Structures are given as structure tokens and as C-alpha cells.
Amino acid sequence: MSRRFAFWDASALIPLCITQPQSPRAKMLYSQCGIVAWWATEVEIRSGLTRLRRMGSIPPRQFLDGKRLAEKLIRDWLSIHESAIIAPNACRLLELHPLRAADALQLAAALEACEHSPLGFAFITADQRLADAARQTGFLVEFL
């Protein structure tokens, strides 16, 4: 059986890089679904890992291990690159849903990934607001 792909938000990818309560579910979903991600998700992952290190939530060694795992994931994922339609779609999504700018860009990139036909396309996230917006947009949401 071939592995299907899903759009992964940074909030769902960080638990693949470091141990968090959502890690077992994230790993189970990763065994079933390859990663499609927005090109800037790399920056969001690094931001999340760095924030956790600065807050003292993870030790330096776990930060370094998490960065290495993130780099491996990035090399293997399908990246949704910039396009002329992502920013205008993100602006439209901001008016429809209570999202932050980066989350609206994530959702617009996910729409680009599925060619604007989200029915049956999985969207994996640990962010409740983004999950709600993705579900209302028509995605099959897998919440961590």
C-alpha cells in the first residue's frame, strides 16, 4: 500500500522532533502520511524549538537533536513554494476565520497543495483554531 500525503502544520511537526505529549500520535500519523508543508514551516519549527530552549522547557541537547530531526524531515517533505495566490487567499481566510497571519498562510498553502479541493485531503495540526478553520474549509483534520 502506498503512503498517502497530508498537509502538516508546524505545530504537528515539532512533536516529531522532540518528545511532547502529542509525540505518540504525531509518530503514528507520520507512519501513515508523508509530509506536505509550506516552505516557511522550516522557520516556524526552528522558532518553536528555539522558544522551548529559551524557556528552559528543553535542554540544549534535546534542542540540537530536535534540529537534526527537523532537518531530516525538511529534506524529505514535499514543499509548497511561494505562489501569487497564497497571500491573497490567506487574506481572504483571515476575514473568514479567527486566525493569526502565519496560520492563514499555512491554510492557504494547504489549499494550494490540494489544488483547492480539500475534500478528503488530511490536514494535521495541534492548533485548535487552525484545526477548526481547516475543517470549515473542507479538510479532513487530524488533531494531535
Long-range CB contacts for residues 137-142, cutoff 8 Å, separation at least 24: 137/93, 137/107, 137/111, 139/7, 139/110, 139/114, 142/6, 142/12, 142/29, 142/33
Alpha helices in 7-100 (DSSP H): 10-17, 23-32, 41-54, 60-76, 86-96
Model pTM score:
0.95
Domain ranges across the chain: 19-143
CB-CB contact of 123 with 5 (8 Å): no
| Residue 120 φ then ψ, to 5° | 85, -10
Q: Which CATH number fits domain 19-143: 3.30.1130.10, 3.40.50.1360, 3.30.365.10, 3.40.50.1010?
A: 3.40.50.1010
Position 117 scores a pLDDT of 97
pLDDT, mean of residues 65-71: 98
pLDDT, mean of residues 131-139: 98
